[in-house]
Structure 1
Amino acid sequence: MSAVSSPSGKPPWLRAKAPQRAGSVQQLLRDLGLNTVCEEASCPNLGECFANGTATFLIMGPACTRACPYCDIDFTKRPLPLDPTEPLRVAKAVQRLGLRHAVITSVNRDDLPDGGASQFVACITEIRRRLPRTTIEVLIPDLCGNWQALEQILAARPTVLNHNTETVPRLYRRVRPQGNYERSLRLLELARQWDPGLYTKSGVMLGLGETAEEILQVMQDLRRVGCDILTLGQYLAPSPKHLPVERYVTPEEFDHWRQVGEELGFLQVVSSPLTRSSYHAEAVQELMRRYPKRGSPAESVLPS
Protein backbone atom coordinates (compact mmCIF):
# COMPACT_ATOMS: atom_id res chain seq x y z
CA MET A 1 0.00 0.00 0.00
CA SER A 2 1.20 3.48 -0.78
CA ALA A 3 0.21 7.01 0.10
CA VAL A 4 1.23 10.54 -0.72
CA SER A 5 2.80 11.87 2.51
CA SER A 6 3.16 15.49 3.70
CA PRO A 7 0.77 16.74 1.02
CA SER A 8 1.38 20.13 -0.53
CA GLY A 9 -1.46 19.86 -3.04
CA LYS A 10 -4.34 17.56 -3.86
CA PRO A 11 -3.52 14.62 -6.13
CA PRO A 12 -5.49 14.21 -9.36
CA TRP A 13 -7.79 11.51 -8.01
CA LEU A 14 -9.35 14.05 -5.62
CA ARG A 15 -10.71 16.30 -8.32
CA ALA A 16 -14.46 16.35 -7.74
CA LYS A 17 -16.93 17.04 -10.50
CA ALA A 18 -17.89 20.69 -10.88
CA PRO A 19 -21.53 21.51 -9.99
CA GLN A 20 -23.87 21.10 -12.95
CA ARG A 21 -27.61 21.68 -13.05
CA ALA A 22 -27.62 21.97 -9.25
CA GLY A 23 -29.74 25.10 -9.20
CA SER A 24 -33.13 23.39 -9.09
CA VAL A 25 -32.24 21.41 -5.96
CA GLN A 26 -30.74 24.45 -4.28
CA GLN A 27 -33.84 26.50 -5.11
CA LEU A 28 -36.11 23.81 -3.67
CA LEU A 29 -34.07 23.78 -0.46
CA ARG A 30 -34.23 27.57 -0.23
CA ASP A 31 -37.97 27.57 -0.89
CA LEU A 32 -38.53 25.10 1.96
CA GLY A 33 -35.98 26.69 4.28
CA LEU A 34 -33.90 23.54 4.65
CA ASN A 35 -30.22 22.91 5.36
CA THR A 36 -28.10 20.15 3.88
CA VAL A 37 -24.88 18.62 5.13
CA CYS A 38 -23.76 18.80 1.50
CA GLU A 39 -23.54 22.60 1.76
CA GLU A 40 -22.83 23.14 5.46
CA ALA A 41 -19.95 20.62 5.58
CA SER A 42 -18.52 21.61 2.17
CA CYS A 43 -18.92 18.12 0.70
CA PRO A 44 -16.80 17.60 -2.45
CA ASN A 45 -19.64 15.61 -4.05
CA LEU A 46 -22.22 18.40 -3.81
CA GLY A 47 -22.23 19.11 -7.54
CA GLU A 48 -22.71 15.47 -8.51
CA CYS A 49 -25.43 14.77 -5.95
CA PHE A 50 -27.41 17.97 -6.57
CA ALA A 51 -27.18 17.36 -10.32
CA ASN A 52 -28.67 13.90 -9.71
CA GLY A 53 -31.53 15.45 -7.74
CA THR A 54 -30.57 14.23 -4.29
CA ALA A 55 -29.33 15.76 -1.03
CA THR A 56 -28.71 14.82 2.60
CA PHE A 57 -30.92 16.86 4.91
CA LEU A 58 -29.31 18.51 7.94
CA ILE A 59 -31.90 19.00 10.65
CA MET A 60 -31.79 21.06 13.85
CA GLY A 61 -29.07 23.23 12.37
CA PRO A 62 -26.96 24.71 10.99
CA ALA A 63 -25.34 25.61 14.37
CA CYS A 64 -23.58 22.71 16.15
CA THR A 65 -22.82 22.41 19.87
CA ARG A 66 -19.50 20.66 19.26
CA ALA A 67 -16.30 22.09 17.82
CA CYS A 68 -14.75 19.15 15.99
CA PRO A 69 -11.60 20.51 14.32
CA TYR A 70 -12.10 18.47 11.13
CA CYS A 71 -15.65 19.69 10.43
CA ASP A 72 -16.81 22.79 8.57
CA ILE A 73 -20.23 23.05 10.24
CA ASP A 74 -20.55 26.28 12.24
CA PHE A 75 -20.15 25.93 16.03
CA THR A 76 -19.92 29.65 16.83
CA LYS A 77 -23.65 30.44 16.69
CA ARG A 78 -26.16 29.76 19.43
CA PRO A 79 -28.41 26.80 18.51
CA LEU A 80 -32.01 27.76 17.89
CA PRO A 81 -35.08 26.07 19.44
CA LEU A 82 -36.37 23.12 17.42
CA ASP A 83 -38.72 24.12 14.62
CA PRO A 84 -41.89 21.97 14.72
CA THR A 85 -42.46 22.64 11.00
CA GLU A 86 -39.08 21.23 9.95
CA PRO A 87 -40.15 17.54 9.71
CA LEU A 88 -43.02 18.45 7.37
CA ARG A 89 -40.73 20.57 5.22
CA VAL A 90 -38.20 17.71 5.00
CA ALA A 91 -40.97 15.31 3.95
CA LYS A 92 -42.17 17.76 1.29
CA ALA A 93 -38.63 18.01 -0.09
CA VAL A 94 -38.29 14.22 -0.22
CA GLN A 95 -41.61 14.04 -2.05
CA ARG A 96 -40.81 16.82 -4.53
CA LEU A 97 -37.38 15.36 -5.28
CA GLY A 98 -38.93 11.92 -5.77
CA LEU A 99 -36.40 10.25 -3.49
CA ARG A 100 -36.68 6.48 -3.09
CA HIS A 101 -34.12 6.61 -0.28
CA ALA A 102 -34.02 9.62 2.06
CA VAL A 103 -31.00 10.44 4.23
CA ILE A 104 -31.36 12.67 7.28
CA THR A 105 -28.55 13.80 9.54
CA SER A 106 -28.15 16.53 12.13
CA VAL A 107 -25.78 18.77 13.96
CA ASN A 108 -24.92 17.74 17.51
CA ARG A 109 -27.50 19.18 19.89
CA ASP A 110 -25.97 18.50 23.28
CA ASP A 111 -28.11 21.33 24.63
CA LEU A 112 -31.26 19.21 24.28
CA PRO A 113 -32.14 16.53 26.87
CA ASP A 114 -32.71 13.92 24.16
CA GLY A 115 -30.01 15.19 21.79
CA GLY A 116 -32.70 15.88 19.20
CA ALA A 117 -34.05 12.34 19.02
CA SER A 118 -37.64 13.61 18.92
CA GLN A 119 -36.90 15.63 15.77
CA PHE A 120 -35.49 12.56 14.02
CA VAL A 121 -38.64 10.66 14.99
CA ALA A 122 -40.88 13.43 13.64
CA CYS A 123 -38.99 13.47 10.33
CA ILE A 124 -39.25 9.69 9.94
CA THR A 125 -42.96 9.81 10.77
CA GLU A 126 -43.73 12.59 8.27
CA ILE A 127 -41.82 10.92 5.43
CA ARG A 128 -43.53 7.59 6.10
CA ARG A 129 -46.93 9.28 6.15
CA ARG A 130 -46.42 10.84 2.74
CA LEU A 131 -44.12 8.25 1.13
CA PRO A 132 -44.58 4.82 2.72
CA ARG A 133 -42.38 3.13 0.10
CA THR A 134 -39.36 5.40 0.62
CA THR A 135 -36.58 3.84 2.68
CA ILE A 136 -35.12 6.10 5.36
CA GLU A 137 -31.55 6.40 6.60
CA VAL A 138 -30.67 8.46 9.66
CA LEU A 139 -27.11 9.52 10.42
CA ILE A 140 -27.26 10.33 14.11
CA PRO A 141 -24.88 11.82 16.72
CA ASP A 142 -23.88 9.85 19.81
CA LEU A 143 -26.68 11.51 21.89
CA CYS A 144 -24.15 11.85 24.76
CA GLY A 145 -24.85 8.22 25.57
CA ASN A 146 -28.58 8.76 26.21
CA TRP A 147 -29.74 5.28 25.25
CA GLN A 148 -33.38 6.08 25.97
CA ALA A 149 -33.14 8.72 23.23
CA LEU A 150 -31.58 6.11 20.92
CA GLU A 151 -34.42 3.71 21.67
CA GLN A 152 -36.87 6.49 20.79
CA ILE A 153 -35.29 6.81 17.33
CA LEU A 154 -35.22 3.05 16.83
CA ALA A 155 -38.91 2.80 17.77
CA ALA A 156 -39.68 4.96 14.72
CA ARG A 157 -38.16 2.15 12.59
CA PRO A 158 -35.65 3.84 10.27
CA THR A 159 -34.40 1.46 7.58
CA VAL A 160 -30.72 2.28 8.14
CA LEU A 161 -29.14 3.68 11.29
CA ASN A 162 -25.79 5.34 10.59
CA HIS A 163 -23.39 6.62 13.23
CA ASN A 164 -19.87 7.54 12.17
CA THR A 165 -16.86 6.36 14.12
CA GLU A 166 -14.84 8.93 12.12
CA THR A 167 -11.31 7.95 13.20
CA VAL A 168 -9.20 5.55 15.24
CA PRO A 169 -9.24 5.59 19.09
CA ARG A 170 -5.74 7.09 19.44
CA LEU A 171 -6.77 10.19 17.49
CA TYR A 172 -10.08 10.85 19.25
CA ARG A 173 -8.74 13.47 21.65
CA ARG A 174 -7.40 15.49 18.71
CA VAL A 175 -10.11 14.78 16.11
CA ARG A 176 -13.26 14.31 18.20
CA PRO A 177 -12.48 15.93 21.57
CA GLN A 178 -16.13 15.75 22.70
CA GLY A 179 -16.69 12.26 21.33
CA ASN A 180 -15.89 8.86 22.77
CA TYR A 181 -14.87 5.84 20.69
CA GLU A 182 -16.34 3.22 23.03
CA ARG A 183 -19.59 5.19 23.28
CA SER A 184 -19.91 5.21 19.50
CA LEU A 185 -19.34 1.46 19.34
CA ARG A 186 -21.87 0.94 22.13
CA LEU A 187 -24.49 2.95 20.22
CA LEU A 188 -24.11 0.70 17.18
CA GLU A 189 -24.11 -2.42 19.35
CA LEU A 190 -27.31 -1.43 21.15
CA ALA A 191 -29.03 -0.53 17.89
CA ARG A 192 -28.27 -4.00 16.56
CA GLN A 193 -29.48 -5.68 19.76
CA TRP A 194 -32.72 -3.70 19.99
CA ASP A 195 -33.70 -4.08 16.32
CA PRO A 196 -32.17 -7.09 14.53
CA GLY A 197 -34.03 -6.06 11.35
CA LEU A 198 -32.16 -2.76 11.21
CA TYR A 199 -29.22 -2.16 8.87
CA THR A 200 -26.42 -0.40 10.77
CA LYS A 201 -23.71 1.70 9.17
CA SER A 202 -20.59 3.64 10.11
CA GLY A 203 -17.94 5.76 8.40
CA VAL A 204 -14.24 6.44 8.91
CA MET A 205 -12.01 9.21 7.51
CA LEU A 206 -8.49 8.28 6.41
CA GLY A 207 -5.50 10.60 6.14
CA LEU A 208 -5.42 11.98 9.69
CA GLY A 209 -2.34 10.06 10.81
CA GLU A 210 -3.81 6.62 11.51
CA THR A 211 -1.80 3.46 10.87
CA ALA A 212 -2.85 0.41 8.87
CA GLU A 213 -3.05 -1.61 12.09
CA GLU A 214 -5.38 0.99 13.62
CA ILE A 215 -7.66 1.02 10.56
CA LEU A 216 -7.94 -2.75 10.72
CA GLN A 217 -8.73 -2.63 14.44
CA VAL A 218 -11.59 -0.16 13.90
CA MET A 219 -13.01 -2.36 11.14
CA GLN A 220 -12.80 -5.41 13.40
CA ASP A 221 -14.43 -3.49 16.25
CA LEU A 222 -17.29 -2.42 13.99
CA ARG A 223 -17.89 -5.99 12.86
CA ARG A 224 -17.80 -7.14 16.48
CA VAL A 225 -20.81 -4.91 17.24
CA GLY A 226 -22.63 -6.13 14.14
CA CYS A 227 -22.14 -3.15 11.82
CA ASP A 228 -23.41 -4.02 8.33
CA ILE A 229 -22.18 -1.17 6.12
CA LEU A 230 -18.88 0.71 6.17
CA THR A 231 -17.81 3.86 4.32
CA LEU A 232 -14.17 4.90 4.03
CA GLY A 233 -13.11 8.23 2.54
CA GLN A 234 -10.26 10.70 2.40
CA TYR A 235 -10.22 13.47 5.01
CA LEU A 236 -10.01 16.88 3.36
CA ALA A 237 -9.31 19.97 5.48
CA PRO A 238 -12.08 22.52 4.84
CA SER A 239 -9.69 25.41 5.55
CA PRO A 240 -6.18 26.13 6.93
CA LYS A 241 -7.81 26.56 10.37
CA HIS A 242 -8.92 22.92 10.44
CA LEU A 243 -6.84 19.82 11.14
CA PRO A 244 -4.26 19.33 8.39
CA VAL A 245 -4.26 16.37 6.06
CA GLU A 246 -1.43 14.08 7.12
CA ARG A 247 -1.46 12.06 3.90
CA TYR A 248 -3.46 11.48 0.75
CA VAL A 249 -4.48 7.84 0.56
CA THR A 250 -4.30 6.32 -2.91
CA PRO A 251 -7.27 4.74 -4.69
CA GLU A 252 -5.36 1.45 -4.56
CA GLU A 253 -5.23 1.52 -0.77
CA PHE A 254 -8.92 2.36 -0.57
CA ASP A 255 -9.59 -0.67 -2.78
CA HIS A 256 -7.44 -2.77 -0.45
CA TRP A 257 -9.56 -1.73 2.54
CA ARG A 258 -12.73 -2.50 0.60
CA GLN A 259 -11.49 -6.04 0.08
CA VAL A 260 -10.49 -6.36 3.74
CA GLY A 261 -13.93 -5.16 4.82
CA GLU A 262 -15.67 -7.67 2.60
CA GLU A 263 -13.49 -10.46 4.00
CA LEU A 264 -14.40 -9.33 7.54
CA GLY A 265 -18.07 -9.78 6.70
CA PHE A 266 -19.47 -6.30 6.07
CA LEU A 267 -22.48 -6.55 3.77
CA GLN A 268 -21.29 -3.45 1.91
CA VAL A 269 -18.04 -1.47 1.91
CA VAL A 270 -17.91 1.81 0.01
CA SER A 271 -14.27 2.87 -0.07
CA SER A 272 -12.75 5.57 -2.26
CA PRO A 273 -11.07 8.96 -1.86
CA LEU A 274 -14.32 10.92 -2.37
CA THR A 275 -16.61 8.58 -0.45
CA ARG A 276 -18.70 10.28 2.22
CA SER A 277 -21.30 8.83 4.60
CA SER A 278 -24.29 9.37 2.33
CA TYR A 279 -22.53 9.19 -1.05
CA HIS A 280 -24.69 7.01 -3.32
CA ALA A 281 -26.58 5.95 -0.20
CA GLU A 282 -29.52 4.82 -2.33
CA ALA A 283 -27.41 1.82 -3.40
CA VAL A 284 -28.32 0.31 -0.03
CA GLN A 285 -31.65 -0.75 -1.56
CA GLU A 286 -29.85 -3.26 -3.76
CA LEU A 287 -28.02 -4.48 -0.66
CA MET A 288 -31.38 -5.00 1.06
CA ARG A 289 -32.60 -7.13 -1.82
CA ARG A 290 -29.44 -9.26 -1.74
CA TYR A 291 -29.32 -9.55 2.06
CA PRO A 292 -32.92 -9.23 3.30
CA LYS A 293 -33.43 -9.04 7.06
CA ARG A 294 -36.51 -10.51 8.62
CA GLY A 295 -38.52 -7.74 10.22
CA SER A 296 -36.66 -4.93 8.45
CA PRO A 297 -38.75 -1.83 7.60
CA ALA A 298 -37.55 -2.39 4.01
CA GLU A 299 -39.12 -5.86 3.87
CA SER A 300 -42.59 -4.59 2.96
CA VAL A 301 -41.63 -1.76 0.60
CA LEU A 302 -38.87 -3.05 -1.65
CA PRO A 303 -39.95 -4.97 -4.74
CA SER A 304 -38.45 -8.43 -4.95
Structure 2
Amino acid sequence: MKPETAVLDIQGQYRVYTEHYRADSAEHTIILVNGSLSTTTSFAQSVRYLYPHFNVVLFDLPYAGQSREFNDHTHLMSREEEADILLELIEQFACDHVLSFSWGGIATLQALARRPRRIVKAVINSFSPIINRPMLAYLERGAEVLAACDRENIGTLLNATIGKHLPSLFKRYNHRHVATLETYEYAQMRFHVENVLTQQGRACNSFADEIDIPLLFVNGDWDEYTSAEDARLFARHVRHCEFRVIHQAGHFLDMEHKAAWMQTRDALLAFLLPPLNSPRQPAARHHALAI
Protein backbone atom coordinates (compact mmCIF):
# COMPACT_ATOMS: atom_id res chain seq x y z
CA MET A 1 0.00 0.00 0.00
CA LYS A 2 1.84 3.05 -1.28
CA PRO A 3 0.35 6.53 -1.44
CA GLU A 4 0.40 8.94 -4.32
CA THR A 5 2.59 11.85 -3.24
CA ALA A 6 2.52 15.45 -4.41
CA VAL A 7 3.63 18.92 -3.38
CA LEU A 8 0.70 21.28 -3.86
CA ASP A 9 0.63 25.02 -4.23
CA ILE A 10 -1.72 26.59 -1.69
CA GLN A 11 -3.02 29.98 -2.84
CA GLY A 12 0.40 30.89 -4.24
CA GLN A 13 1.77 31.25 -0.71
CA TYR A 14 2.69 27.79 0.58
CA ARG A 15 3.83 24.46 -0.77
CA VAL A 16 2.40 21.45 1.05
CA TYR A 17 3.56 17.84 0.80
CA THR A 18 0.64 15.38 0.61
CA GLU A 19 0.08 11.63 0.58
CA HIS A 20 -3.07 10.19 -0.95
CA TYR A 21 -4.04 6.56 -0.30
CA ARG A 22 -6.62 5.68 -2.94
CA ALA A 23 -8.94 2.74 -2.32
CA ASP A 24 -10.87 1.42 -5.32
CA SER A 25 -13.88 0.45 -3.21
CA ALA A 26 -14.03 3.59 -1.04
CA GLU A 27 -16.84 6.11 -1.55
CA HIS A 28 -15.52 8.64 0.96
CA THR A 29 -12.26 10.47 1.62
CA ILE A 30 -10.86 11.38 5.04
CA ILE A 31 -8.11 13.92 5.73
CA LEU A 32 -5.91 13.55 8.82
CA VAL A 33 -4.56 16.56 10.74
CA ASN A 34 -1.29 16.22 12.68
CA GLY A 35 -0.52 17.33 16.20
CA SER A 36 2.41 19.60 17.11
CA LEU A 37 5.90 18.59 15.95
CA SER A 38 4.35 15.67 14.04
CA THR A 39 4.51 14.60 10.40
CA THR A 40 2.58 12.25 8.14
CA THR A 41 4.46 9.29 9.65
CA SER A 42 2.67 9.78 12.98
CA PHE A 43 -0.55 8.49 11.40
CA ALA A 44 0.88 5.14 10.29
CA GLN A 45 -1.26 3.23 12.80
CA SER A 46 -4.42 5.13 11.88
CA VAL A 47 -4.03 4.53 8.14
CA ARG A 48 -3.97 0.78 8.81
CA TYR A 49 -7.64 0.72 9.87
CA LEU A 50 -9.01 3.65 7.86
CA TYR A 51 -7.81 2.21 4.55
CA PRO A 52 -9.47 0.74 2.47
CA HIS A 53 -12.75 1.89 4.04
CA PHE A 54 -11.72 5.41 3.02
CA ASN A 55 -9.42 7.17 0.65
CA VAL A 56 -6.94 8.70 3.11
CA VAL A 57 -5.15 12.05 2.75
CA LEU A 58 -2.15 13.04 4.89
CA PHE A 59 -0.15 16.26 4.76
CA ASP A 60 2.73 18.12 6.37
CA LEU A 61 2.24 21.77 7.27
CA PRO A 62 4.67 24.14 5.50
CA TYR A 63 7.09 24.24 8.44
CA ALA A 64 7.14 20.48 9.06
CA GLY A 65 8.25 17.18 7.59
CA GLN A 66 8.56 16.90 3.83
CA SER A 67 7.01 20.32 3.25
CA ARG A 68 9.92 22.17 4.90
CA GLU A 69 12.28 22.30 1.92
CA PHE A 70 9.64 23.91 -0.32
CA ASN A 71 8.90 26.92 1.93
CA ASP A 72 10.96 29.91 3.06
CA HIS A 73 9.88 30.11 6.74
CA THR A 74 9.97 33.90 6.85
CA HIS A 75 7.07 34.21 9.29
CA LEU A 76 5.31 32.18 11.98
CA MET A 77 2.00 30.63 10.98
CA SER A 78 -1.17 31.24 12.94
CA ARG A 79 -3.79 28.58 13.60
CA GLU A 80 -6.09 30.54 11.29
CA GLU A 81 -3.59 30.07 8.45
CA GLU A 82 -3.37 26.37 9.25
CA ALA A 83 -7.17 26.22 9.06
CA ASP A 84 -6.99 27.96 5.65
CA ILE A 85 -4.60 25.26 4.39
CA LEU A 86 -6.84 22.48 5.71
CA LEU A 87 -9.88 23.96 3.96
CA GLU A 88 -7.97 24.24 0.70
CA LEU A 89 -6.87 20.60 0.91
CA ILE A 90 -10.42 19.50 1.71
CA GLU A 91 -11.52 21.07 -1.56
CA GLN A 92 -8.62 19.81 -3.65
CA PHE A 93 -9.06 16.20 -2.51
CA ALA A 94 -12.87 16.34 -2.18
CA CYS A 95 -12.68 15.18 1.45
CA ASP A 96 -15.90 14.58 3.32
CA HIS A 97 -14.48 13.45 6.69
CA VAL A 98 -11.78 14.84 8.99
CA LEU A 99 -9.72 13.25 11.75
CA SER A 100 -7.45 15.37 13.95
CA PHE A 101 -4.99 14.47 16.67
CA SER A 102 -4.04 16.51 19.74
CA TRP A 103 -3.15 20.13 18.88
CA GLY A 104 -4.33 19.55 15.33
CA GLY A 105 -7.78 19.87 16.86
CA ILE A 106 -7.42 23.65 17.14
CA ALA A 107 -7.03 24.31 13.41
CA THR A 108 -9.60 21.59 12.68
CA LEU A 109 -12.29 23.16 14.86
CA GLN A 110 -11.53 26.56 13.34
CA ALA A 111 -11.91 25.10 9.85
CA LEU A 112 -15.15 23.27 10.73
CA ALA A 113 -16.60 26.47 12.21
CA ARG A 114 -16.53 27.90 8.68
CA ARG A 115 -18.84 25.04 7.65
CA PRO A 116 -16.98 23.61 4.65
CA ARG A 117 -19.65 22.35 2.29
CA ARG A 118 -18.16 18.87 1.79
CA ILE A 119 -17.54 17.72 5.36
CA VAL A 120 -20.21 15.51 6.95
CA LYS A 121 -18.43 14.10 10.04
CA ALA A 122 -15.26 14.69 12.04
CA VAL A 123 -13.29 12.94 14.76
CA ILE A 124 -11.24 14.89 17.31
CA ASN A 125 -8.68 12.69 19.08
CA SER A 126 -6.86 13.54 22.33
CA PHE A 127 -8.17 17.06 22.73
CA SER A 128 -10.20 19.06 25.25
CA PRO A 129 -11.50 22.64 25.45
CA ILE A 130 -9.63 23.62 28.63
CA ILE A 131 -6.07 23.84 29.93
CA ASN A 132 -6.01 21.79 33.13
CA ARG A 133 -3.17 21.74 35.65
CA PRO A 134 -1.09 18.95 34.06
CA MET A 135 -1.40 20.56 30.62
CA LEU A 136 -0.52 23.99 32.00
CA ALA A 137 2.65 22.64 33.63
CA TYR A 138 3.56 20.85 30.39
CA LEU A 139 3.04 23.98 28.29
CA GLU A 140 4.96 26.26 30.64
CA ARG A 141 7.93 23.91 30.71
CA GLY A 142 7.62 23.42 26.95
CA ALA A 143 7.80 27.16 26.35
CA GLU A 144 11.04 27.28 28.37
CA VAL A 145 12.87 24.48 26.54
CA LEU A 146 11.60 25.64 23.14
CA ALA A 147 12.80 29.19 23.80
CA ALA A 148 16.22 27.83 24.76
CA CYS A 149 16.23 25.46 21.77
CA ASP A 150 17.17 22.81 24.33
CA ARG A 151 16.93 19.81 22.02
CA GLU A 152 17.67 17.13 24.59
CA ASN A 153 15.12 18.38 27.09
CA ILE A 154 12.45 18.93 24.43
CA GLY A 155 12.56 15.21 23.67
CA THR A 156 12.77 14.28 27.34
CA LEU A 157 9.78 16.47 28.21
CA LEU A 158 7.61 14.91 25.51
CA ASN A 159 8.34 11.36 26.64
CA ALA A 160 7.91 12.17 30.33
CA THR A 161 4.48 13.76 29.88
CA ILE A 162 2.04 13.15 27.03
CA GLY A 163 4.22 10.34 25.65
CA LYS A 164 4.81 8.46 28.89
CA HIS A 165 2.54 5.54 27.95
CA LEU A 166 4.22 4.92 24.58
CA PRO A 167 6.28 1.77 24.03
CA SER A 168 10.03 2.26 24.46
CA LEU A 169 10.66 1.99 20.71
CA PHE A 170 8.23 4.83 19.99
CA LYS A 171 9.76 6.91 22.77
CA ARG A 172 13.20 6.55 21.20
CA TYR A 173 11.78 7.54 17.81
CA ASN A 174 9.97 10.55 19.31
CA HIS A 175 13.09 11.72 21.13
CA ARG A 176 15.24 11.43 18.03
CA HIS A 177 12.62 13.20 15.91
CA VAL A 178 11.93 16.21 18.14
CA ALA A 179 15.60 16.62 19.10
CA THR A 180 16.68 17.04 15.47
CA LEU A 181 14.18 19.59 14.19
CA GLU A 182 15.06 22.94 12.66
CA THR A 183 15.17 26.01 14.89
CA TYR A 184 12.22 27.56 13.04
CA GLU A 185 10.11 24.52 13.96
CA TYR A 186 10.84 25.12 17.63
CA ALA A 187 10.02 28.81 17.16
CA GLN A 188 6.73 27.86 15.51
CA MET A 189 5.74 25.55 18.34
CA ARG A 190 6.73 28.12 20.95
CA PHE A 191 4.56 30.67 19.13
CA HIS A 192 1.54 28.37 19.35
CA VAL A 193 2.21 27.47 22.99
CA GLU A 194 2.54 31.09 24.06
CA ASN A 195 -0.66 32.02 22.22
CA VAL A 196 -2.51 29.36 24.18
CA LEU A 197 -0.98 30.47 27.48
CA THR A 198 -1.76 34.15 26.94
CA GLN A 199 -5.33 33.32 25.97
CA GLN A 200 -5.65 31.27 29.18
CA GLY A 201 -7.02 28.39 27.14
CA ARG A 202 -7.54 27.33 23.57
CA ALA A 203 -10.50 29.62 22.87
CA CYS A 204 -12.15 26.72 21.04
CA ASN A 205 -15.63 27.00 22.46
CA SER A 206 -16.61 29.85 20.14
CA PHE A 207 -15.57 27.72 17.16
CA ALA A 208 -17.42 24.69 18.50
CA ASP A 209 -20.61 26.74 18.80
CA GLU A 210 -20.60 27.23 15.02
CA ILE A 211 -20.15 23.56 14.04
CA ASP A 212 -23.29 21.79 12.88
CA ILE A 213 -21.97 18.38 11.78
CA PRO A 214 -21.61 15.34 14.08
CA LEU A 215 -18.32 15.22 16.01
CA LEU A 216 -16.76 12.31 17.86
CA PHE A 217 -14.30 13.08 20.67
CA VAL A 218 -11.93 10.24 21.57
CA ASN A 219 -9.68 10.34 24.65
CA GLY A 220 -7.60 7.87 26.61
CA ASP A 221 -8.59 7.17 30.21
CA TRP A 222 -4.93 7.46 31.30
CA ASP A 223 -4.48 10.85 29.60
CA GLU A 224 -4.50 13.52 32.30
CA TYR A 225 -3.43 16.24 29.83
CA THR A 226 -6.49 16.09 27.57
CA SER A 227 -8.73 14.03 29.78
CA ALA A 228 -11.95 12.33 28.78
CA GLU A 229 -13.74 14.24 31.53
CA ASP A 230 -12.52 17.58 30.20
CA ALA A 231 -13.39 16.64 26.62
CA ARG A 232 -17.03 16.15 27.64
CA LEU A 233 -17.25 19.89 28.24
CA PHE A 234 -17.62 20.18 24.46
CA ALA A 235 -21.18 18.88 24.92
CA ARG A 236 -22.12 22.39 26.07
CA HIS A 237 -21.12 23.82 22.69
CA VAL A 238 -21.33 21.19 19.93
CA ARG A 239 -24.84 20.47 18.68
CA HIS A 240 -24.19 16.86 17.68
CA CYS A 241 -21.38 15.16 19.56
CA GLU A 242 -20.42 11.76 20.88
CA PHE A 243 -17.63 10.67 23.21
CA ARG A 244 -15.52 7.53 23.44
CA VAL A 245 -12.94 6.56 26.04
CA ILE A 246 -10.07 4.25 25.11
CA HIS A 247 -9.30 2.11 28.15
CA GLN A 248 -5.76 1.78 29.49
CA ALA A 249 -4.51 4.34 26.99
CA GLY A 250 -2.85 7.71 27.31
CA HIS A 251 -2.56 10.66 24.94
CA PHE A 252 -1.30 8.71 21.91
CA LEU A 253 -4.18 6.20 21.80
CA ASP A 254 -3.68 3.75 18.90
CA MET A 255 0.12 4.06 19.04
CA GLU A 256 0.43 2.76 22.60
CA HIS A 257 -0.52 -0.92 22.40
CA LYS A 258 -2.56 -3.40 20.37
CA ALA A 259 -5.68 -3.29 22.55
CA ALA A 260 -5.77 0.51 22.36
CA TRP A 261 -5.31 0.31 18.58
CA MET A 262 -8.30 -2.05 18.31
CA GLN A 263 -10.50 0.09 20.57
CA THR A 264 -9.63 3.23 18.64
CA ARG A 265 -10.27 1.49 15.33
CA ASP A 266 -13.65 0.19 16.47
CA ALA A 267 -14.74 3.55 17.89
CA LEU A 268 -13.80 5.50 14.77
CA LEU A 269 -15.23 3.09 12.23
CA ALA A 270 -18.49 2.70 14.17
CA PHE A 271 -18.91 6.48 14.06
CA LEU A 272 -17.66 7.16 10.53
CA LEU A 273 -19.13 4.27 8.56
CA PRO A 274 -22.88 3.98 7.87
CA PRO A 275 -24.64 1.04 9.57
CA LEU A 276 -25.01 -2.09 7.48
CA ASN A 277 -28.12 -2.11 5.31
CA SER A 278 -28.71 1.60 5.85
CA PRO A 279 -29.57 3.87 2.91
CA ARG A 280 -26.53 5.38 1.20
CA GLN A 281 -25.78 8.83 2.58
CA PRO A 282 -24.86 11.78 0.39
CA ALA A 283 -21.16 12.60 0.30
CA ALA A 284 -21.54 16.31 0.97
CA ARG A 285 -23.77 18.93 2.48
CA HIS A 286 -24.39 22.37 1.06
CA HIS A 287 -24.34 25.60 3.03
CA ALA A 288 -25.01 29.15 2.08
CA LEU A 289 -21.52 29.91 3.40
CA ALA A 290 -18.81 28.31 1.26
CA ILE A 291 -15.09 28.61 1.74
TM bucket, shorter chain? 0.3 to 0.5
With normalisation by structure 1, the TM-score equals 0.42
TM-score scaled by structure 2?
Answer: 0.43
